[in-house]
Structure 1
Amino acid sequence: MPSSTLQWLSLVAIIWLQVINGTNTNFPAYSSQLKQLLSISQVELNNLAFASDAGKLFGWFSGLAAIYLPLWLVLIIGSFLGLIGYGLQYLFITNQISYLSYWHVFFLTFLAGNSICWINTVCYVVAIRNFLSNRQVAVGLTTSYQGLSAKIYTNIVDVVSSHNKAKTFLLLNSIVPVVVCFILAPIVRENEVKNSKHSSVVFALMFVITITTGIYAVISSLPIFTNKISSLGVLIGILVSLLLPLLLPISVKIKELVESLHKKRESLRIYHFTMEENIDKESYVKESEDSCEVEDGCVMEEIGVKLMLKRMNFWLYFFVYFFGATIGLVFLNNLGQIAESRGCSATSYLVSLSSSFGFFGRLIPSLLDYFYRGKCTISRPVTMAGVMAPTAGAFFLLLNKTDIALYISTAVIGVSTGAITSTAISTTTELFGTNNFSVNHNVVVANIPIGSFLFGYSAALIYRNQGNGDGKCMGVECFSNTFIIWGSFCCFGTFLALILYFRTRKFYSQNH
């Protein structure tokens, strides 16, 4: 039986992969500069943001690949897609490639967006298989770290280059995932260890490290902090916090060595007794633990994608995500233009703020799962409804022209979007099972590119109509109608989440 140290080491590796995999979340930090470099309009820029999300339309390819190919190969394929997508764009804007049409850039952005699905699929599958009875906790905890991607990339760029940020972002987006994936590919794999005696304690320590990291990320995003400490100092602090999870597999390994030494001493002391009865007892206990582990799965039913698409619960769930997390992601994609139109120059600060609060948003469902583990008492639809309602309020708050309203709304939308994104992973497994998760969940998140196009394109059109002859719009009115529309849709999404709750309440009550 493999050591459980490898199990926890794989969790640390997934955390690092999630940290570097949110390359699309830093788009707002350089979108305005990219718009100038490519000499494109706001509508065309929005189309590029849509292209990144549109890569998820074919995310189910990565799901199929995870079924038929080794997971390390799926990981490498994903990183190379990102290298091509972002790398060729970097070569173009640095004039190392003489010509790329706008549609070439669109396709490359699409390819880069699809690469994220491949890496995410590997992370989700390994976390679910390695921590079956705690899969919601493991997936939610590791996914939360993707909320730090934008902040980390932004801090690196601030340290490396104060000018040409678009070029630096594209270079980092292309190289960093490839390097990290190659290093971690041998570690991110399924381990046969089904249960760990100390999983509860280790997860508790992991939560302490994660929450501490999140608090530091939020505090280091505040202007009062950044004015006193350099970008390099902030970056070093973040990198050190990302090394702290290594203490967990190290402590587990030490514990295993101590237990192994203790067992050897015991066996020497009682060597004249037969060990057959003890072995039988250990097998029985282990078998009982494994059966409880499966029972703790709390799955409504195991179904494939074709049957899933025929279920009303799927479409309710699909549109709850569509009117919740997807609208939040569209807002974050347009954060650079929203800040610019309001005369707010702190775009990097806003991106770091949304990233840091998105981190906590992704972590909240995992914390709830940890405290109610094994009971399945948490209704996912209620959780999504609970975080969508504040999102609607945040959009209406944006009608206020003050910067503080922009900061508060960005933080709230970051939390809500992160929470729904994390909760959705557990919802997919509970409603449709774990056997076909890699394909099913990629079908669910296909709503993101659809929403990105519809919501983003309409926002760009409203922006253009409100602007002057050169296509630039300044003032709160540039996005005010958009915020009213998005807030209304969030209210409707909250209503759909409540309908889904009433349709699934029997399932959650049975697993109380």
Structure 2
Amino acid sequence: MPSSTLQWLSLVGIIWLQAIIGTNTNFPAYSSQLKELLSISQVQLNNLAFASDAGKLFGWFSGLASIYLPLWLVLLIGSTLGLIGYGVQYLFITNVISSLSYWHVFLLTFLAGNSICWINTVCYVVTIRNFLSDRQAAVGITTSYQGLSAKIYANIVDAVAPHKKARTFLFLNSLLPLIVGLIAAPLVREIEFTGPNYKGVGFAVMFAITISTGIYAVFSSLQFVTNKASSLGILIGILVSLVLPLLVPLLVKIKEIENNREKLRVCDFTMEDNTNEAGEGNEVKDEDDVEVQEYVVGIIEEVGVKLMLRRINFWLYFLIYFFGATVGLVYLNNLGQIAESRGCYGTSSLVSLSSSFGFFGRLMPSLMYYFYRGKCKVSRPASILAVMVPTSGAFFLLLNKSDLALYISTAVIGVCTGAITSLAVSTTTELFGTKHFSVNHNVVVANIPIGSFVFGYTAALFYRKEGNENGKCMGMECYRNTFIMWGSFCLLGTLLALILHARTRKLYSQNQ
């Protein structure tokens, strides 16, 4: 029987993967420089941001692959696609390759965006299967680290080559996921273990480490801290925080050894005591089974993708994500140009801030569900509704021209977008089941490239309309109409979330 330590090691491996696969989130940090290097317009730059998200349109390929192929192979396929997508762009930027057209770069960006789906699918499948009864907690912890991706990459670039951002980001985007994928491949696998996995100790320590990491990330993103501390020092702190989760499997292993010694000691006294000890072991197993029943049976109905597409709840859920998290992601993709148009040139600081607050946004739902699930049960649609409201307010706050409004809005949008992204994983499993999750969820997130194109292209048109003859725009007018439009769409998404909550309230009440 596999040790429960392996379960926790798989979670650590997924944390490492999630921390470096958010390669598309660091696009705003070098988008302006890339625009100059490629001599492209704002509309073409927005198309590249769309191309990265458009890779998710074919994310369902990775879902099918996870059913028929070993998960380690799916992971390495994703890493290799990223190596090709970003690597060839790097060779072009450094003049090693000189024959790439804009559309070649577009297709390579598309391929790189699709690579994230493959790695994400492996992370979600392993997390849900290894921690079924606590999937919200496990998914929330692991996906929160994806919120750190932009910060990790930005700190590495600031420490190594702050004046060559575009080429350095592309170089890191191509190699880091492959390197970490090779390291994590032996760990990231489904563990069939029916004994006690010491979830109380494991999740308590893991939450403490994750929260500490988030606090450090937010604090080190503040302007007055980055001015005093070196980028290398901040980076070292982040890397140390990524090693700390290894303490959890270590503690679980120590706990296992202690329990095994206790069992052997009891067995030396009487056979009766040994029988009692075995009975206690069965009780632990039964408790786990009861917990699984409590959070699975009564909500989950196994639904295939064809049936899912005929459900009203699916389209409500799809549009809520479309008008919520996707609008937030489009804002973050355009953060570099937005900051520049307002005369705020601390783009790296803003990207780090949004990344750090996105980290907490992804973590908060799992933290609340894990520690308050027996006291206050709130449905996933209700939780999504709760975070849609401040997202709308943040877009309208951006109409204020102060830098403070920009920083506050960016932090709020980062938190809420991260929260919806985390909640969506559990929402998909609860509305449509776990059996077809790898395909179903990739269909759900297909709204991201659609929204990226629609919202991003419209924003680019507004930007170009207000810009000068060189295609550059400075001032609040550049994005004023865009913010009003995005805020209005978020309000519509809030209304749809209210409708979905009303439709699923009876379903969730069956589990209380």
Counterpart residue identity of residue 122, structure 1: V
Counterpart residue identity of residue 312, structure 1: I
Deviations 1:366-422 (A, max 9, x none): 111102347892211111111111111111111111111110110000001000000
Change beyond 3 A, Cα 1:260–1:282: closer
- Asked whether the equivalents of residues 144 and 358 of structure 1 are also in contact (C-alpha less than 8 Å), the reply is yes
Change beyond 3 A, Cα 1:116–1:354: same
Deviations 1:204-224 (A, max 9, x none): 111111111101100100111
Secondary structure at the residue paired with 2:471? coil
Superposition map of 1:178-257 within 5 A: 178-194=178-194, 196=196, 198-257=198-257
Residue matched to 1:169: 169
Residue matched to 2:462: 462
Secondary structure at the residue paired with 1:61? helix
Give the distance between the partners of 1:276 and 1:194, measured in 2 at CA: 19
Residue matched to 1:341: 341
Give the distance between the partners of 1:259 and 1:280, measured in 2 at CA: 14
Counterpart residue identity of residue 21, structure 1: I
Give the distance between the partners of 2:228 and 2:88, measured in 1 at CA: 37
Residue matched to 1:498: 498
Counterpart residue identity of residue 435, structure 2: N
Give the distance between the partners of 2:311 and 2:254, measured in 1 at CA: 49
The offset of 1:242, in angstroms, is 1.0
Residue matched to 2:92: 92
Residue matched to 2:369: 369
Give the distance between the partners of 1:168 and 1:294, measured in 2 at CA: 49
Counterpart residue identity of residue 118, structure 2: W
- Asked whether the equivalents of residues 195 and 290 of structure 1 are also in contact (C-alpha less than 8 Å), the reply is no
Residue matched to 2:128: 128
Superposition map of 1:478-489 within 5 A: 478-489=478-489
The offset of 1:198, in angstroms, is 2.2
The offset of 1:319, in angstroms, is 0.2
Deviations 1:465-507 (A, max 9, x none): 1101111011010000000000000001000000000000001
Give the distance between the partners of 1:40 and 1:289, measured in 2 at CA: 57
TM-score, structure 2 normalization: 0.97
The offset of 1:296, in angstroms, is 2.3
Residue matched to 1:378: 378
Secondary structure at the residue paired with 2:296? coil
The offset of 1:196, in angstroms, is 3.1
Give the distance between the partners of 2:249 and 2:282, measured in 1 at CA: 25
The offset of 1:355, in angstroms, is 0.2
Residue matched to 2:358: 358
Change beyond 3 A, Cα 1:348–1:289: closer
The offset of 1:108, in angstroms, is 0.3
Counterpart residue identity of residue 192, structure 1: E
Change beyond 3 A, Cα 1:81–1:285: same
Deviations 1:276-307 (A, max 9, x none): 67656744763563354244225331110000
Give the distance between the partners of 2:331 and 2:259, measured in 1 at CA: 52
Give the distance between the partners of 1:434 and 1:375, measured in 2 at CA: 25
Secondary structure at the residue paired with 2:470? coil
Change beyond 3 A, Cα 1:489–1:263: same
Secondary structure at the residue paired with 1:220? helix
Secondary structure at the residue paired with 1:216? helix
- Asked whether the equivalents of residues 196 and 284 of structure 2 are also in contact (C-alpha less than 8 Å), the reply is no
Give the distance between the partners of 1:355 and 1:459, measured in 2 at CA: 22
Give the distance between the partners of 1:141 and 1:111, measured in 2 at CA: 27
Residue matched to 1:315: 315
The offset of 1:53, in angstroms, is 0.2
Give the distance between the partners of 1:264 and 1:275, measured in 2 at CA: 9
Give the distance between the partners of 1:472 and 1:218, measured in 2 at CA: 32
TM-score, structure 1 normalization: 0.97
Residue matched to 1:289: 288
Give the distance between the partners of 1:90 and 1:134, measured in 2 at CA: 41
Deviations 1:170-209 (A, max 9, x none): 0000000000001110110010124635202221111111
Residue matched to 1:390: 390
Change beyond 3 A, Cα 1:332–1:194: farther
Give the distance between the partners of 2:247 and 2:495, measured in 1 at CA: 44
Counterpart residue identity of residue 367, structure 1: L
Once the two structures are overlaid, the 10-residue window that deviates more, 166-175 or 250-259, is 250-259
Deviations 1:315-346 (A, max 9, x none): 00000000000000000000000011111110
Residue matched to 2:332: 332
- Asked whether the equivalents of residues 4 and 252 of structure 1 are also in contact (C-alpha less than 8 Å), the reply is yes
- Asked whether the equivalents of residues 132 and 194 of structure 1 are also in contact (C-alpha less than 8 Å), the reply is no
Secondary structure at the residue paired with 1:269? coil
- Asked whether the equivalents of residues 358 and 418 of structure 1 are also in contact (C-alpha less than 8 Å), the reply is yes
Q: How many residues align?
A: 511
The offset of 1:132, in angstroms, is 0.8
Change beyond 3 A, Cα 1:248–1:463: same
Change beyond 3 A, Cα 1:409–1:195: farther
RMSD: 1.5
Once the two structures are overlaid, the 10-residue window that deviates more, 438-447 or 256-265, is 256-265
Superposition map of 1:74-153 within 5 A: 74-153=74-153
Give the distance between the partners of 1:328 and 1:258, measured in 2 at CA: 48
Give the distance between the partners of 2:224 and 2:162, measured in 1 at CA: 20
Residue matched to 1:405: 405
- Asked whether the equivalents of residues 377 and 508 of structure 1 are also in contact (C-alpha less than 8 Å), the reply is no
- Asked whether the equivalents of residues 63 and 442 of structure 1 are also in contact (C-alpha less than 8 Å), the reply is yes
Counterpart residue identity of residue 295, structure 2: D
Counterpart residue identity of residue 366, structure 2: S
Change beyond 3 A, Cα 1:474–1:2: same
Counterpart residue identity of residue 49, structure 1: A
- Asked whether the equivalents of residues 319 and 493 of structure 2 are also in contact (C-alpha less than 8 Å), the reply is yes
Quick one: percent identity of the two aligned structures?
Answer: 73
Give the distance between the partners of 1:195 and 1:52, measured in 2 at CA: 42
Once the two structures are overlaid, the 10-residue window that deviates more, 473-482 or 283-292, is 283-292
Secondary structure at the residue paired with 2:29? helix
Deviations 1:108-140 (A, max 9, x none): 000000000010110000000000110111011
Once the two structures are overlaid, the 10-residue window that deviates more, 369-378 or 423-432, is 369-378
Give the distance between the partners of 1:419 and 1:274, measured in 2 at CA: 48
